[in-house]
Amino acid sequence: MNEDYPLEVLLDLRADAVDEAERDLASEVGRLNELIERRDELGARRQRMIDKRHAREEAFRQRRRDESVTGAEFAQIRLFLKGLDIDIEQLRVEQTRIDERVEDQTSVVDLRRDELAEAKAELEVVQRHRADWQADRERLKKRRQADAMDELGTMVWRGGEDGT
């Protein structure tokens, strides 16, 4: 009784669906990690600029206290600080855009996780069905063997009756 499982093709399709869902999830998680890394890099860069601005401003204040500063020097440092402020704001805007993309990508990752869970559940249903089918086949095989042994025993017993 070497019968093939009648839903083997469905089982293979479900297993392929799980593999595809795992690949899709891995890809989307990779994209999410790239976005998070980019956001963190921008945040660190922005913080370095903020620190640089504060350091330059403090150095200029200290210089103003210690020595006289010309109007041109004062205008130059104010222009430099204004440029840093603009750069800092641009980085903040870019970081905000990436934050939004991280949120969107997180939703995509969650969706892919749900799809993977669903694909695994569907595969498990078919696997349980296959296990039940195999157990039924085995029980049927044992019952047929037992029936054959009973019939053989009956024949032997009847043969013994006739021969006595």
Q: Which residues of the chain have pLDDT under 50?
A: 1, 164
pLDDT at 68: 81
pLDDT at 1: 44
Give yes or no for a contact between 125 and 86, defined as CB atoms under 8 angstroms apart: no
Q: Which CATH architecture has domain 8-163?
A: Orthogonal Bundle (1.10)
Query: Six-digit token pair at 128?
Result: 């349980």
Give the separation between CA 122 and CA 21, rounded to whole angstroms: 12
Domain ranges for the chain: 8-163
Residue 148 is given by DSSP the state: H
Element (H, E) at 45: helix 8-66
* Cβ neighbours for 85, distance < 8 A, ≥ 6 positions apart: 53
Give the separation between CA 114 and CA 123, rounded to whole angstroms: 14
